Structure 1
Amino acid sequence: MEEHKYHIFVIGYDDFNINQLKQLPLGAQVNYHAALSYEDIKSSEHVPALELFHRAESQILNSDFKPDAVITFWDFPATILAAMLAERFGLRSASVESIFKCENKRWSRTEQAKVIGEHIPCFAGFNPDDRDAFANIGLAPPFWIKPVKSFRSYLAFRVDSAADFEHHRQALTAGIDGIYKPFQELMVKSRLPGDIAGSELSCIAEAPLTGEMCTVEAYAFGDEVVCYGIVDSIREQHSNSFNRYQYPSKLPATVQQRMAELTRDVARQLDLRDACFNVEYFYNPADESVHLLEINPRTSQSHSWLFCMVDGVSQFRHQVDIALGRRPQVLPQQGEFAIAAKYMHRAFKSGVVTQVPDARRLAEISRVFAGTQIKLHVNAGDDLNELLFQDAYSFELADIYIGAADEAELEQRYRAIAAMLDIRIAPKQC
């Protein structure tokens, strides 16, 4: 008798993550299909969200297979599109409204304030077209400003003065339409409340948070909320850019427990059900305070290989189980390494890429450093200033996933691999 096959459609289909999905225990029972490719959702700063919804809908309808699930591991617009398509085809998923309650930073903060008010920063919404916005916000510098829908620190700026604010307000005005307009279109299509979908407060200002950053990975299966791992987010020494994500966390067990409790409270307030998600926190050892930065209603693809190296299987397993209506199982904790990290190999000055490693060099690195995975983000000839979705302080050249016995070996391996990559950048000629 032929084994039953599940058919899962993926928003943001890419070979790197699909290969991990195929290695899951259910791998032989699942066929993965591209509802939208990674290039579809990330090839432009101007996201045609509604067009992408209809394109994915058509792709599923015209497929030879009835969908059993729609999933994603990418940020906007993928998370919202996946929930909308699951609703459209009657599949198991978090509700569209609960996804927006996570994705819309102003709405999310308003909901968070109802249950964990002392663990979030002061915040205020504002319209970047309002020339009097600085006076109306009610926050004294320093603070951060960003769109209510942003990702990877795109269009996020630190404000230290009124002059700073005005400069960054103009940058927001120039760049925000590519994200907020399609985001708002999806809110309107999803029939969200008028004060949310129709709001002109497209940006948010927040008091700064300090301390050590981390991310709680969790899932909600029905009413049950389970936190199963914490990943430390370690910044560059002299920059706000991230240096690496490291698993497992080094935070004290009592702090991790507090974060898990806050995560459960927030997930229930947002009515997150049948979903994988992660929550970013700051922990300040000086006063032992814990503050929630943001909640992302998806499995982190940045962390998936780390769980695979340490626990023996990617946390994508939870996502697939939930999407198919199966109770997630505890990860086996039988990986090859005691510690793992995703390093974001960066350049801090603009220029043109003149050299990247070829396939032979990448194969040599994988042979010398077993378990290492590398995703290049640049090609020879690329102008770093033209790369999409970079933060305001650096340019991401490659992701390097490394496992090791301890943190010292992890750092040693990273330095050696970065040297072997030998990505070269020259100043741009005028």
Structure 2
Amino acid sequence: MKNIFVLGSDEFNLSLMKTLVSAKDYCFHVLFDYDEVKMGGGRPVPSLYEEGLEKLKSFPGRVDAIVGYWDFPVSTLLPLFRRSFDLPSPSFEALLKCEHKYWSRLEQRRVIPEFIPDFCAVDPFCDHPGQQISLPFPYWLKPVKAASSQLGFMVRNESELHAAIEEIRQKIAGFADPFNYLMQFAELPSEVKTVDGNYCIAESIISNGQQCTLEGYVYHGRCCVYGTVDSIREGEHNSSFSRYQYPSMLPLHIRQKMIAVTERFLQHIGYDNGPFNIEFYWDSEADRIWLLEVNARISKSHCPLFHYVDGMSHHQVMLDLALGKEPDFPHRQGPYSYAAKFMWRIHSDAFVVKVPSEQQIQAAIREFPGCEIKLHVHEGMHLSDLINQDSYSYEIAEVFIGGNSEHELLEKYHNVKQALGLELSPLLDGMSCDKREGKSDGSCRAVST
């Protein structure tokens, strides 16, 4: 039996891993659960690192692999834990060249400059941050390290820049302090040393087009992409994810071009023996692709999609690489031709009046085969009580659906929402109904969403 430690274990993903055929050869151990590693409510990162090492070193058996599927701080801690046990892993510096947004853009500019936006580093704590920004409005402003699009703002004018800077100043320490703690373990070039976790990056707009994510890995220097997932967005700035849909509907030659760009960049930074997901935009009118960002992990959100369509969760890819094995991932062997993860979003604050019971949720799953539901809200809370949300919406549930056409996916999702009977009451007490704009158009009312 292989002893596999899971950093940030949660019931949903652990249950998926236990369905893998190879799981009979694995003994999973929890190296902190999700509640302990989540940003905004978990353990301090220094505690995770120091106590995590102590747990691993005191384990009486052999540590065969250490895995995780969450964003920061999990993805950033993994190579540090692994190198203490000489386990297969990308180097810590190669990982940071993906996760530190400014460092990543610097490296991208060296080898794939035609596929990235204009950008510059911004110190939000200086007296006049706008004077550091060399880009014309509009542009995106975001921390060099965050997660789930938190503290990312579309900036169209000086007023929006001022509002974004004020919010970033108030909240960036939640990411900056733990990120700076971990950066001390890396060899940093001079151009990156001063741009720590308290900095932001401004980037010109590249989001005019279709977005997708390539899921792949590098094993002993060979890059393999085994799936492409389309990312459909919604909201005022088209910045909030509405659903992830697999397989991609982008033309094959566009996906092949994205793969070539991916290979060139990952080879340049020396990324090896690890999974990745890399996000692109395709502007069909200009027939141009843009690289958005690189993540040094599998996307946990895509795991059920691969299970539905290919017959196996790509947790298997993560596990194989962590054990030093070359992945052998199936193709189109699942029960459905299409699959999607829907992010049920509300774009204004509201009071949660009613949520479905566990019995109602299970009844909906039975009524609509190929469906999984994860609810994020409970009765009596405000949506603004949710943590780790993007800047423009509240995600109240995740719904995973398998089907044999895009139409079937959309129809199932609509029917599932109706069956759950979740009720929200928008705020009408003079507070903002819109998350960012501070306005109400009079349409907020008690509704079943």
Structure 1 unpaired stretches of 5+: none
Alpha-carbon contact 1:141-1:160 (below 8 Å) kept:
yes
Alpha-carbon contact 1:122-1:206 (below 8 Å) kept:
yes
**Partner residue of 1:48?**
44
1:169-248 to structure 2, matched below 5 A, reads 169-193=165-189, 195-199=191-195, 202-209=199-206, 210-236=208-234, 238=236, 239-248=238-247
Alpha-carbon contact 2:235-2:347 (below 8 Å) kept:
no
Cα drift, residue 24 of structure 1: 1.4
Alignment partner of 1:302 is 2:301: yes
Letter in 2 for 1:107: W
Letter in 1 for 2:203: E
Letter in 2 for 1:218: G
Alignment partner of 1:66 is 2:62: yes
Alpha-carbon contact 1:188-1:197 (below 8 Å) kept:
no
**Partner residue of 1:14?**
10
**Partner residue of 1:146?**
142
Q: Which moved more, 1:318-327 or 1:129-138?
A: 129-138
Cα drift, residue 16 of structure 1: 0.4
Cα drift, residue 92 of structure 1: 1.0
Alpha-carbon contact 2:352-2:381 (below 8 Å) kept:
yes
Letter in 1 for 2:199: S
Separation in 1 of the partners of 2:132 and 2:361?
A: 53
Alignment partner of 1:79 is 2:75: yes
**Partner residue of 2:25?**
29
TM-score, structure 2 normalization: 0.92
Alignment partner of 1:381 is 2:380: yes
Separation in 1 of the partners of 2:209 and 2:75?
A: 29
Cα drift, residue 428 of structure 1: 5.0
Q: Deviations over 1:371-393 (max 9, x none)?
A: 21111111112221121110111
Separation in 2 of the partners of 1:192 and 1:66?
A: 32
Cα drift, residue 25 of structure 1: 2.1
Alpha-carbon contact 1:311-1:333 (below 8 Å) kept:
yes
- Identity across aligned pairs (percent)? 35
Alpha-carbon contact 1:47-1:178 (below 8 Å) kept:
no
Separation in 2 of the partners of 1:147 and 1:102?
A: 14
Separation in 2 of the partners of 1:314 and 1:398?
A: 21
**Partner residue of 2:401?**
402
Instruction: Kindly report the root-mean-square deviation, in angstroms, between the aligned alpha carbons of the 2 structures.
Output: 1.6
Of 125, 131, 134, the match for 2:130: 134
Cα drift, residue 194 of structure 1: 5.2
Letter in 1 for 2:370: G
Alpha-carbon contact 1:7-1:66 (below 8 Å) kept:
yes
SS in structure 1 at match of 2:202: strand
Separation in 1 of the partners of 2:275 and 2:225?
A: 10
Separation in 2 of the partners of 1:280 and 1:25?
A: 30
Letter in 2 for 1:219: Y
Letter in 1 for 2:172: I
**Partner residue of 1:103?**
99
**Partner residue of 2:332?**
333
Cα drift, residue 171 of structure 1: 0.8
How many residues end up aligned between the 2 structures? 426
Letter in 2 for 1:184: N
Q: Which moved more, 1:345-354 or 1:24-33?
A: 345-354
Alpha-carbon contact 1:233-1:242 (below 8 Å) kept:
yes
Alpha-carbon contact 2:346-2:396 (below 8 Å) kept:
yes
Alpha-carbon contact 2:277-2:299 (below 8 Å) kept:
yes
Separation in 2 of the partners of 1:208 and 1:190?
A: 31
**Partner residue of 1:419?**
418
1:267-286 to structure 2, matched below 5 A, reads 267-286=266-285
**Partner residue of 2:434?**
none
Alpha-carbon contact 1:217-1:279 (below 8 Å) kept:
yes
Letter in 2 for 1:225: C
Cα drift, residue 47 of structure 1: 6.5
Q: Which moved more, 1:88-97 or 1:306-315?
A: 88-97
Q: Which runs of 4+ in 1 moved over 4 A?
A: none
Alpha-carbon contact 1:311-1:332 (below 8 Å) kept:
yes
SS in structure 2 at match of 1:101: helix
Alpha-carbon contact 1:13-1:35 (below 8 Å) kept:
yes
**Partner residue of 2:154?**
158
Letter in 2 for 1:203: C
SS in structure 1 at match of 2:388: coil
Separation in 2 of the partners of 1:115 and 1:370?
A: 46
